Chain A
Amino acid sequence: MSGTTLLKETGPREVFCGLTSIVWLHRRMPDAFFLVVGSRTCAHLIQSAAGVMIFAEPRFGTAILEERDLAGLADAHEELDRVVKNLLKRRPEIRTLFLVGSCPSEVIKIDLARAAERLTAQFNGQVTILNYSGSGIETTFTQGEDGALKALIPLMPSSKEDKLLLAGTLANPVEDRLKTIFNRLGIKNIDSFPPRQSTELPSIGPGTKVLLAQPYLTDTARELKDRGCEILQAPFPLGVEGSKLWIEAAANAFNIKKELVSSTLEPLILRAQKALKPYIEQLSGKKLFLLPESQLEIPLARFLSNECGMELVEVGIPYLNREMMRTELELLPEKTRIIEGQHVEKQLDRVRESNPDLVVCGMGLANPLEAEGISTKWSIEMVFSPIHGIDQASDLAELFARPLHRHNLLSHKELETA
């Protein structure tokens, strides 16, 4: 283990629940619909996080439980069947329907697995109905994607062929780019999970080598392993260093010649480092505080400290999967302070005491910190933006340099007008 300081904290948390993943999952698989079985709170959460109004007919919705649904479970199941039938009649283009569990549905124990089975049978293979939990009592923010992917795994056909599987949602252009690079290395058989169409699930089996593109796929990785896949140990593809090691992990697994790997990656690395330079100037020596939210905090901290020279005050993370983070932890500077869990009040006290230059946090906390004169970056932006891979390293750095740049710009102007 490396010399990081791992601490745990409990108390009031300020983290989204797993339902939030629907915001990017529905865009990844346009033929899928995400139906939350929950309360008005769940509906309100998703619409507040996703800016739903821009869609005429969004591909997600909430079956809102009402008083009488709480009275008897039998009726709740009947009601759910009715809602699903109406929905699918209205939206015949839907191929996969995810029933997404919420805190209320779990507390009253609506068995969504049973409902999914029953409904799949009723729809006779026209639509596949699956279920997973996005509830706040079980999951945080990005864990919703883990649940959705895990639910898809049983439907993936088996095969023994050698292939590379990229697991975790990536922005489409980034994914294409990464595939091009693997092709240049001679790795041609590459699939992505989740696929771009929910019905085009890749096959998996003993020949499948999995590169995790996102750090929050604990259950998915386990299930893939159970299906015989090999999970490659690597850091995550954020920044030049992480992306290089990530690509090399695949190259090693496919026995690609070292020379080919370095001759392919070298020019990309040189170009990326050049593009990073102006941002390193802005970021280097600046103090960074990451509040827990997306589970991307550790790889981001590693990139921003190792490649951009930022000083890590504290790295908050909703939960720590040591196995998955092993390589990342080894790359972090000695004595990096990592806090698992949260006591938001105490953590904000520490933010104020340490007076960082930049805080990565959730949307609820950003303006209050800005009002105290502390620059912030929304963590939710990391899950929407194309930030993965060597070529994207400078774009990733720019996301963090921008608030600092803006801060300087405005305080400069203030001086002038004063």
Chain B
Amino acid sequence: MELTLWTYEGPPHIGAMRIATSMKGLHYVLHAPQGDTYADLLFTMIERRGARPPVTYTTFQARDLGGDTAELVKGHISEAVERFKPEALLVGESCTAELIQDQPGSLAKGMGLNLPIISLELPAYSKKENWGAAETFYQLVRGLLKDIAEEDPSQPKTSWKEEGRRPRVNLLGPSLLGFRCRDDVLEIQKILGENGIDINVIAPLGAAPSDLIRLPKADANVCLYPEIAESTCIWLERNFKTPFTTTVPIGVKATQDFLEELCSLLDLEVSNLINKAEQSKLPWYSKSVDSNYLTGKRVFIFGDGTHVIAAARIANEELGFEVVGMGTYSREMARKVRTAAKELGLEALITNDYLEVEEAMKDSAPELVLGTQMERHSAKRLGIPCAVISTPMHVQDVPARYSPQMGWEGANVIFDDWVHPLMMGLEEHLIGMFRHDFEFKDGHQSHLGHLGGHTNQSAETSREINKDAINQTSSKEALLWTPEGESELSKIPFFVRGKVRRNTEKYAIQVGCKEIDGETLLDAKAHFSK
């Protein structure tokens, strides 16, 4: 049993709904009680979808449990097939139905319906949403293609060159409730087109089951979101010898690497388009003199696996930030995130507990947080600027304007999204110059938000941290900060002030000093820096 106040991911059947709702011509019969219908609002409210998810919930009640729930399930299945006339049917259950073991998948298969039926087993008590989406996509692709796969197990693939056509690829993984998928797909399509590569199928977003049948016709698979598509890509490689990309094209360098990787998979000459830095404005913006102030900015990164790994690379290699903490809520991506963190000399935080993430954030004293909507709230409480880089989705993460994360344009969007919460360079310089003038309120940050209320907030935060520190050291005798000590402390940048206060108090307790003045502060600084 795990106490959860808030969760980054929903249960696995939500992942299945993401696949079903992303596609056309597919229907999902979900054996579930009425309350589970809340899931519709994720799509109709957060994504502002103008159509209901193609899901029939059996909405069984307690009084049905004594009777024949199997008949109830069958009734819903035949009604759904009749009404929606799907090309293929997904059948599965949510947490409660899993316990009553009606096996709706086998029931459906025994009904003699004339359409492909994919039975989903998504263990609700051990797995979560992204896993459920990946498993559903994989089961669907496998279910629709396994007969073809068995027909020609080892037939050599003819290459696009032999066939005298342009190479073509599948874009796999984009789905509803995925971060900026809608625009990423457009951006990648555009870039591939410029490089002479055609798109065979995009799935699941916008694809019908009949499109999935054409997946093996691609020369390579582009695995855009490993969380959703990796297992499918592996299966397609094994059964149809279609190689797949492992680089996710988020950031300028990753986009270049991705194109190189794809070209080599396709045996295609790397087009000179790839290396033109002016494809994106990020490199120049990052180089321009105003960006000097970005140097060494401390960033804390948390989110799903794909976006965290990409963000760490961009932060480190393209913007000159210092990554001071990173982690993911995605257990499936834990290994990859750990490896990426290690390369930056960090230990990755793998957790589904947002309070633990907030603690880690506080401890690493970042100047910028890149996270989910939850980290945005935590950062706000701590008075730290934040940009959102990852799911879980919020209505704000589905902007009206075109704003991909992938490709050249994605890099532009990222530059703006991450840098705008920070202060502009010249502005920071001026504020630094005038910071001791009385007109300047402490903690003044930027012309973009964070004004008003901010000062109070950061004062509150430091008070809170202070309280923590005292609790932590469990010393009942109060430490006294002399006015001079307080004034020295106030000269320290606000984002590390909490940490300095804590360390100084820890030091004072260690050496048995009751009054903290400026000297103690410097002593403590020397003590901890050795």
Q: Would you give the shortest CB distance from B329 to chain A, in whole angstroms?
A: 13
Q: Would you give the shortest CB distance from A15 to chain B, in whole angstroms?
A: 5
Interface locus among A145-153, A169-177, A233-241, A367-375: A367-375
Contact of A367 among B45, B123, B373, B381 (CB under 8 A): B45
Contact of B95 among A20, A104, A371 (CB under 8 A): A104
**CA of A106 to CA of B1, assembled, Å:** 16
Q: Does B6 contact A (CB under 8 A)?
A: yes
Q: Does B110 contact A (CB under 8 A)?
A: no
- Do A13 and B3 touch across chains, with their CB atoms under 8 A apart? no
Q: Does A44 contact B (CB under 8 A)?
A: yes
- Do A66 and B126 touch across chains, with their CB atoms under 8 A apart? yes
Q: Does B60 contact A (CB under 8 A)?
A: yes
- Do B5 and A61 touch across chains, with their CB atoms under 8 A apart? yes
Chain B neighbourhood of A362, CB < 8 A: 37, 41
Q: Does A295 contact B (CB under 8 A)?
A: no
- Do A364 and B40 touch across chains, with their CB atoms under 8 A apart? yes
- Do A103 and B37 touch across chains, with their CB atoms under 8 A apart? no
* A 29-66 binary contact with B (CB < 8 Å = 1; else 0): 00000010011111111011100111011101111111
**CA of A372 to CA of B35, assembled, Å:** 25
55-80 of chain B: CB within 8 A of chain A: 56-62, 65, 76, 79
Q: Does B190 contact A (CB under 8 A)?
A: no
Chain B neighbourhood of A16, CB < 8 A: 34-35, 37-38
**CA of A57 to CA of B59, assembled, Å:** 32
Chain B neighbourhood of A40, CB < 8 A: 4, 7, 9-11, 95, 124, 128
Q: Does A256 contact B (CB under 8 A)?
A: no
A63 in contact with B7 given A103-B95, A136-B35, A370-B50 (CB within 8 Å): no
- Do A108 and B34 touch across chains, with their CB atoms under 8 A apart? no
Q: Would you give the shortest CB distance from A223 to chain B, in whole angstroms?
A: 20
Chain B neighbourhood of A270, CB < 8 A: none
**CA of A247 to CA of B403, assembled, Å:** 56
- Do B381 and A70 touch across chains, with their CB atoms under 8 A apart? no
**CA of A222 to CA of B35, assembled, Å:** 25
- Do B38 and A137 touch across chains, with their CB atoms under 8 A apart? no
Q: Does B94 contact A (CB under 8 A)?
A: yes
75-131 of chain A: CB within 8 A of chain B: 76, 79-80, 82-83, 86-87, 103-104, 106-108
- Do A107 and B50 touch across chains, with their CB atoms under 8 A apart? no
Q: Does B285 contact A (CB under 8 A)?
A: no
Chain A neighbourhood of B518, CB < 8 A: none
- Do B59 and A12 touch across chains, with their CB atoms under 8 A apart? yes
- Do A363 and B44 touch across chains, with their CB atoms under 8 A apart? yes
* B 117-158 binary contact with A (CB < 8 Å = 1; else 0): 000000111101000000000000000000000000000000
- Do B51 and A13 touch across chains, with their CB atoms under 8 A apart? no
Q: Does B365 contact A (CB under 8 A)?
A: no
Q: Does A17 contact B (CB under 8 A)?
A: yes
Closest B-chain residue to A133, C-beta based? B62
- Do B99 and A12 touch across chains, with their CB atoms under 8 A apart? no
- Do B7 and A43 touch across chains, with their CB atoms under 8 A apart? yes
- Do A363 and B41 touch across chains, with their CB atoms under 8 A apart? yes
- Do A12 and B38 touch across chains, with their CB atoms under 8 A apart? no
* A 4-21 binary contact with B (CB < 8 Å = 1; else 0): 000000011111111110
Q: Does B188 contact A (CB under 8 A)?
A: no
Closest B-chain residue to A66, C-beta based? B125
Q: Does B36 contact A (CB under 8 A)?
A: yes
- Do B96 and A44 touch across chains, with their CB atoms under 8 A apart? no
**CA of A398 to CA of B38, assembled, Å:** 26
**CA of A368 to CA of B48, assembled, Å:** 9
Q: Does A345 contact B (CB under 8 A)?
A: yes
Closest B-chain residue to A39, C-beta based? B95
Chain B neighbourhood of A414, CB < 8 A: none
Chain B neighbourhood of A190, CB < 8 A: none
Q: Would you give the shortest CB distance from B30 to chain A, in whole angstroms?
A: 10
Q: Does A245 contact B (CB under 8 A)?
A: no
Q: Would you give the shortest CB distance from A100 to chain B, in whole angstroms?
A: 12
A14 in contact with B37 given A70-B99, A345-B83 (CB within 8 Å): yes
Contact of A45 among B38, B99, B100, B374 (CB under 8 A): B38
Chain B neighbourhood of A363, CB < 8 A: 40-41, 44-45
- Do B1 and A136 touch across chains, with their CB atoms under 8 A apart? no
Closest B-chain residue to A364, C-beta based? B40
Q: Does A67 contact B (CB under 8 A)?
A: yes
Q: Does A140 contact B (CB under 8 A)?
A: yes
- Residues of A in contact (CB 8 Å), total 66
Closest B-chain residue to A62, C-beta based? B4
- Do A76 and B59 touch across chains, with their CB atoms under 8 A apart? no
Q: Does B514 contact A (CB under 8 A)?
A: no
- Do B50 and A61 touch across chains, with their CB atoms under 8 A apart? no
Q: Does A334 contact B (CB under 8 A)?
A: no
Q: Does B42 contact A (CB under 8 A)?
A: yes
Q: Does A266 contact B (CB under 8 A)?
A: no
- Do A41 and B44 touch across chains, with their CB atoms under 8 A apart? no
407-427 of chain B: CB within 8 A of chain A: none
* B 1-42 binary contact with A (CB < 8 Å = 1; else 0): 111111101110110000000000000000001111111111
- Do A371 and B1 touch across chains, with their CB atoms under 8 A apart? no
Q: Would you give the shortest CB distance from A109 to chain B, in whole angstroms?
A: 10
- Do A58 and B5 touch across chains, with their CB atoms under 8 A apart? yes
Closest B-chain residue to A103, C-beta based? B96
**CA of A65 to CA of B95, assembled, Å:** 10
Closest A-chain residue to B123, C-beta based? A67
**CA of A240 to CA of B10, assembled, Å:** 43
Chain A neighbourhood of B65, CB < 8 A: 107, 137
- Do B50 and A367 touch across chains, with their CB atoms under 8 A apart? yes
**CA of A82 to CA of B50, assembled, Å:** 45
277-320 of chain B: CB within 8 A of chain A: none
**CA of A17 to CA of B7, assembled, Å:** 19
Closest A-chain residue to B376, C-beta based? A53
- Do B377 and A15 touch across chains, with their CB atoms under 8 A apart? no
482-510 of chain B: CB within 8 A of chain A: none
Chain B neighbourhood of A60, CB < 8 A: 5
- Do A53 and B377 touch across chains, with their CB atoms under 8 A apart? yes
Q: Does A138 contact B (CB under 8 A)?
A: yes
A39 in contact with B96 given A67-B126, A137-B65 (CB within 8 Å): yes
**CA of A101 to CA of B5, assembled, Å:** 16
Closest A-chain residue to B358, C-beta based? A56
A368 in contact with B51 given A58-B5, A64-B2, A80-B1 (CB within 8 Å): yes
Chain B neighbourhood of A47, CB < 8 A: 6-7
- Do B125 and A70 touch across chains, with their CB atoms under 8 A apart? yes
Chain B neighbourhood of A135, CB < 8 A: 33, 35, 62
Chain A neighbourhood of B49, CB < 8 A: 367-368
Closest A-chain residue to B38, C-beta based? A45
Closest A-chain residue to B99, C-beta based? A107
Chain B neighbourhood of A49, CB < 8 A: 38, 41
Q: Does B52 contact A (CB under 8 A)?
A: yes
**CA of A67 to CA of B1, assembled, Å:** 9
* A 334-352 binary contact with B (CB < 8 Å = 1; else 0): 0000000000010000000
- Do A104 and B50 touch across chains, with their CB atoms under 8 A apart? no
- Do B6 and A58 touch across chains, with their CB atoms under 8 A apart? yes
Closest A-chain residue to B61, C-beta based? A137
- Do A367 and B35 touch across chains, with their CB atoms under 8 A apart? no
**CA of A106 to CA of B63, assembled, Å:** 13
**CA of A56 to CA of B354, assembled, Å:** 10
**Pairs across A and B, CB under 8 Å, 23 listed:** A13-B34, A14-B34, A15-B37, A16-B37, A17-B35, A40-B7, A41-B10, A41-B124, A44-B11, A52-B6, A53-B374, A63-B3, A80-B1, A83-B3, A104-B99, A107-B99, A135-B35, A135-B62, A137-B33, A345-B83, A363-B45, A364-B41, A367-B50
Lowest 8 CB-CB distances: which A-B pairs, in order? A17-B35, A371-B50, A364-B40, A136-B35, A136-B33, A39-B95, A79-B1, A103-B96
In the complex, besides A48-B41, A136-B36, 13 extra interface pairs with C-beta distance below 8 angstroms are A13-B37, A38-B95, A41-B36, A43-B7, A45-B38, A52-B5, A65-B1, A66-B125, A67-B123, A108-B99, A138-B61, A365-B52, A367-B44
Which residues of B come within 8 Å of A, CB atoms? 1-7, 9-11, 13-14, 33-42, 44-45, 48-52, 56-62, 65, 76, 79, 83, 94-96, 99-100, 123-126, 128, 373-374, 377, 381
